[in-house]
Amino acid sequence: MSATPMPTAQKSDEPVAILAERQAEGYRLFTDPARLEQIGALLRGKPEFSFFNSIGLPIILTLATIVVSSGIQYLSWLNSTRLQDATAQAARAVAVYDKVAATIGAMSYSTFLAIVATQDIVTRKNATASDIGKFNASLDVQRLTTYYDQRTSWNEGYDHLVSGIEFALDRPVLRVAGEIPTGSLSGALWPKVDCSQSMPKQMLSVGLKPHALQDQIAIINYCLFELADALDGEMTKALANDAPTLDSKAEIDAGNALGNLKAMASVFRCNAERRLEFLQSEKQYAVVSPMALVRYLYNGKKDRILALLSNVDAQCNS
């Protein structure tokens, strides 16, 4: 078997790195550290300094890392803050609505009991002639006491209710929609109020904003005390006679007025509950994300509010 010929070295001006030398028994690798260092230097070639690779690129990467990490932290903080604000706003609205609804309910029920007590007091004969009569008389006194206490509580807390409604329920929605509520009924508007009409008709006839919950509560407040004044007047007139009687028409009118008040309260609750649902749903728009940006561009907050008010008109104010 013939030996494989070794390639002959070609003459060249380039430096040559020789890693081994041929000897009789084969090839011997060079292991001398100095020789290997020389060989490595030849293989690496002449060193060149690059400012971009050595200084510029690390600085750029460091700055990019700082910007990206800071941006992520800021976005996380912004989302957390916006979500907390939206959640707190919805919670305030729920608290205000619960208080107003409970107050209206208590006032309506105490008014109903006052009407019953007034009928009993005016029409009762020999109320103290029996134990049952005494019990009924005591019960009627309790009913009227509860009613007048509730009226006092309503009067004292009414302004607070209106301000709570304006801040928590009306302002977040109506300001964006461009509706500025009146918030109260001036003396010039009183003759225009007809408590026998539905809430939407009254709001339009008086010139109030139909979607303003604080204006709706102003109508309820007016009609509530119109009924109270009528009830007080009928009782005073009846008890002034030697033989007290309560006009049957007055009884019917009081019952109808209370029924109208309950209908107004139902309209208010319907409007307020749709408002609460909207504020709860707005929490999804508080988080900054690509999808939120798309929703914002194609369905902005004003558009969503106008759609809400349109649905409220169909569901509550029709």
The pTM assigned to this predicted structure is: 0.72
Query: What integer pLDDT is reported at residue 177 of this predicted model?
Result: 84
| Residue 260 lies inside a defined structural domain of this protein | yes
Residue 184 pLDDT grade (very low, low, confident, very high; cuts 50, 70, 90): low
Query: What integer pLDDT is reported at residue 1 of this predicted model?
Result: 47
Residue range 62-112, pLDDT digits in tens: 999 999 999 889 888 888 898 899 999 999 999 999 999 999 999 999 988
Residue range 189-246, pLDDT digits in tens: 777 888 888 888 888 888 888 889 998 998 999 898 888 888 888 777 766 666 566 6
| Residue 179 lies inside a defined structural domain of this protein | yes
Residue 126 pLDDT grade (very low, low, confident, very high; cuts 50, 70, 90): very low
* Domain extent at residue 245: 88-285
Residue 197 burial (10 A CB sphere; 0-12, 13-18, 19+)? middle
Decide if 285 contacts 297 (C-beta within 8 A).
no
From 211, 183, 208, 209, select the one nearest 278 (Cα to Cα): 211
The backbone torsions φ and ψ at residue 29, rounded to the nearest 5 degrees and listed phi first, read -75, 145
| Residue 274 lies inside a defined structural domain of this protein | yes
| Residue 129 lies inside a defined structural domain of this protein | yes
Query: What integer pLDDT is reported at residue 124 of this predicted model?
Result: 64
**Neighbouring residues of 92: CB distance < 8 A, sequence distance ≥ 6:** 167, 168
HEC readout, the chain = CCCCCCCCCCCCCCCCCCCEEEECCEEEECCCHHHHHHHHHHHHCCCCCCHHHHHHHHHHHHHHHHHHHHHHHHHHHHHHHHHHHHHHHHHHHHHHHHHHHHHHHHHHHHHHHHHHHHHHHHHCCCCCCCHHHHHHHHHHHHHHHHHHHHHHHHHHHHHHHHHHHHHHHHHHHHHHHCCCCCCCCCHHHHHHCCCCCCHHHHHHHHCCCCCCHHHHHHHHHHHHHHHHHHHHHHHHHHHCCCCCCCCHHHHHHHHHHHHHHHHHHHHHHHHHHHHHHHHHHHHHHCCCCHHHHHHHHHCCHHHHHHHHHHHHHHHCCC
Least confident window among 124-128, 160-164, 302-306 = 124-128
Could you give the CA distance from residue 233 to residue 235 in angstroms, rounded to a whole number?
A: 5
Crossing angle between the packed helical segments 248-281 and 57-123, to the nearest 10 degrees: 170
pLDDT at 249 over 90: no
| Residue 35 lies inside a defined structural domain of this protein | no
Q: How many domains does the chain have?
A: 1
| Residue 4 lies inside a defined structural domain of this protein | no
Average pLDDT over residues 284-289: 80
As a whole number, the mean pLDDT across the chain is 80
| Residue 159 lies inside a defined structural domain of this protein | yes
| Residue 252 lies inside a defined structural domain of this protein | yes
